[in-house]
Structure formats: C-alpha cells, structure tokens
Amino acid sequence: MTRHIEKRNLPYTPEQLFTLVAEVDKYSEFLPWCLSSVIKKREGNTFYADLVIGYKVVREKFGSKVVLMPNERIDVEYLSGPMKYLTNQWKFIREQDGSCTIDFYVDFEFKNRFLQSLMGAFFNELVRRMVSAFEERAGQLYGKNGIKRSGQVPDVQSET
C-alpha cells in the first residue's frame, strides 16, 4: 500500500482549479508521463476515462470512473489496469482571501510486486511533480499570480 496526501494553498479560485482537474482529456498536454488521456463516456456529473502512463520501458493503461461534485470535490474510482486498487480524491477549499487550498489524496497498490517496489521508491516525488504540473498549468491558464495576493507564497504541506 502506498499513500500520499498533499495540501497546497494556491492563488486561484476553487472553480478554476476544479475545472483544471476535471478536464481529464487534457492531462496528456501537461502531466509528466501521461501519454494519452481520453474520456470514454459521460453521465451527468460522472464520466469514465482511460489514461496511458509511461516512462522509458514501462507503459500502463488505467481505466477509472470520475465523479464530480462541482467546485468542491473530485473522486476517482479505479476500474481497470495494473492495480489491486486505487483511490484518489481532490478537494477544493475556498479560503477567506478567495484563494483555494487543494487537498489531494491518493492510495494504491500495484498487482505486480516489482512495479509496486519500483513505484514505492519514487512515489512521493512523482506525486509532487504531478501536483506541481497542475499548479504550472493553472499559471498558464489563469496567470502566474492568479487572484492578487500581496507577496504571499503558496503554502505546501505533504504527508506520506
């Protein structure tokens, strides 16, 4: 079992960050190691997506069900691929200054012990890079400073 929790306060609104994370079909444009991202089917606030993740000789396809609670939360349920299980959740918390604290949680285990041990060694760094890629994408889409805050630096908290 590998688990990671990351919280970051970012100078963007919950609506902006929710929209960014919910656009799974655009992940391959900016997420490291995401080779393909396709939404296969939509049903209201739920959709089904496939991601192909690859690095060097490793290439795996993941199927998931994504449930959207607009501007508040995104839950990801693992359906198919190389995992025993995968749980993933994003929460978007509006702060008094208009900024958003994202609360990201992921817990997973690979079926293959080799992949599990390989990922375990690099997992925390991979998740940090992934969350940073979302932050960089927000800067590209909404401006580097997002909503104006006087000299405030984004707050980052990680827990494994």
The pLDDT tens digits of the residues spanning 104-132 come to 999 988 888 877 777 666 777 778 888 89
Q: For domain 2-159, give the CATH number.
A: 3.30.530.20
Query: Which of 139, 145, 118 lies closest to 30, judged by CA?
Result: 139
Q: Which residues of the chain have pLDDT under 50?
A: 150-154, 156
Structure tokens that stand for 158 in this block = 């990680």
What's the pTM?
A: 0.86
What SS3 class is residue 129?
helix
Query: Given this model, what pLDDT does residue 95 score?
Result: 96
DSSP 8-state code for residue 26: G
